[in-house]
Amino acid sequence: MAHEALIESAGYRARLAADREDVARSLALRARVFRGDPEAADEDRFDARCRHLIVEDKATGAVVASCRLLGIDDGGGIGESYSAQFYALDGLADQSGRMLEVGRFCVAPEARGPDVLRLAWGALTRIVAEEQVQMLFGCSSFAGTEPEAYLDVFALLGARHVAPPRWLPRIKAPDVFRFCQRPRLAPDLKRAVKAMPPLLRTYLLMGGFVSDHAVIDRDLGTLHVFTGLEVGRVPEGRQRALRGLVGA
């Protein structure tokens, strides 16, 4: 049962990791993407608590995308999430519905195309529906630690996508880029969309929100913003497209 695909296409299948070998392959892809070395260590205390979603190439069996999933019964448990290490999430603590943290989302460089990303989101859609998840959240990462490379993206986030005040994550990490405190500049939309990480772009297309600052993560060599998505507010057109992926 654990090997059963959640969703598949002609070339790929998405499923939950069935055993330690599957998890090891997911960790190797993470190490390759986030640390530049598939032999590097990229395992932490959260991995044992999470399920691991993998997307495989059906022809070769290679893992081409993966993420880890931490289910939380309600907002009262959000302080135990990975994201809570970096963001003060008190504003989300009173959420009554089930939540799902999506972490370490990564795609192999040779597989970065719309098909793999759509398949991963199709699998997440099935999990969200079956488990009645009401909010998705996590950290959306940018390559590198220099905010200047993404000023158009941050200008766009600050202008259109910051969380409502009642949910706004507060600063907790020691090293942050407060993009909402910078002078408000009109972003170049083409540059912003091109530089935006695909995962973050997908969240925003579905109505997601972000923190008002980015965390500079020296360990992983990334910048990231807290990203949340209230499932019930996903536009109906997007819901239909995602349901179509899983045949619902």
Q: In which region does residue 30 sit, left (phi positive, over 0), alpha (psi from -120 to 50) or beta (all else)?
A: alpha
Using CA atoms, how far residue 68 sits from 44, 191, 212, 241, in Å, is 12, 30, 25, 23
| pLDDT score at 162 | 97
pLDDT digits (tens, 9 = 90+) for 168-209: 999 999 999 999 998 877 899 999 999 999 999 999 999 999
Under 8 Å CB-to-CB from 7, ≥6 apart: which residues?
13, 14, 119, 122, 123, 126, 245, 246
Tokens standing for residue 103 = 């972490």
Residue 201's nearest CA partner among 108, 133, 107 is 107
Tokens standing for residue 198 = 């695909």
| pLDDT score at 4 | 85
pLDDT digits (tens, 9 = 90+) for 18-56: 999 999 999 999 999 999 998 999 999 999 999 999 999
Q: How far is the C-alpha of 143 from the C-alpha of 73, rounded, in Å?
A: 31
pLDDT digits (tens, 9 = 90+) for 203-242: 999 999 999 999 999 999 999 999 999 999 888 887 777 6
Sign of CA dihedral 109, 36, 198, 159: negative
- Angle among Cα 107, 53, 207 to the nearest 5 degrees reads 70
For the chain, give the mean pLDDT.
Answer: 93
Say if strands 214-217 and 176-177 run parallel, antiparallel, or are unpaired.
antiparallel
Burial per residue of 42-66, b for 16 or more beta-carbon CB atoms within 10 angstroms, e otherwise: beeebbeebebbbbbbeeeeebbbb
Give mean pLDDT, residues 61-87: 97
Residue 63 has pLDDT above 90, yes or no: yes
* Helical (H) or strand (E) element with 34: helix 20-35
State the first-to-last Cα distance of the chain, in angstroms, to the nearest integer: 20
pLDDT band, residue 246 (cuts 50/70/90): low
Whether the CB-CB separation of 74 and 96 falls below 8 Å is answered with yes
Residue 104's nearest CA partner among 21, 222, 245, 228 is 222
pLDDT band, residue 243 (cuts 50/70/90): low
pLDDT band, residue 1 (cuts 50/70/90): very low
| pLDDT score at 245 | 61
Residue 74 has pLDDT above 50, yes or no: yes
Using CA atoms, how far residue 186 sits from 78, 117, 158, 211, 224, in Å, is 34, 29, 10, 19, 21
Name all domains of the chain by residue range, CATH numbers in brackets: 7-246 (3.40.630.30)
Give mean pLDDT, residues 105-123: 91
| pLDDT score at 244 | 63
Whether the CB-CB separation of 35 and 220 falls below 8 Å is answered with yes
Residue 248 has pLDDT above 70, yes or no: no
Residue 69's nearest CA partner among 47, 90, 85 is 47
Residue 199's nearest CA partner among 229, 221, 176 is 229
Query: CA dihedral defined by 83, 88, 94, 96, rounded to 10 degrees?
Result: -10
Amino acid at 29: L
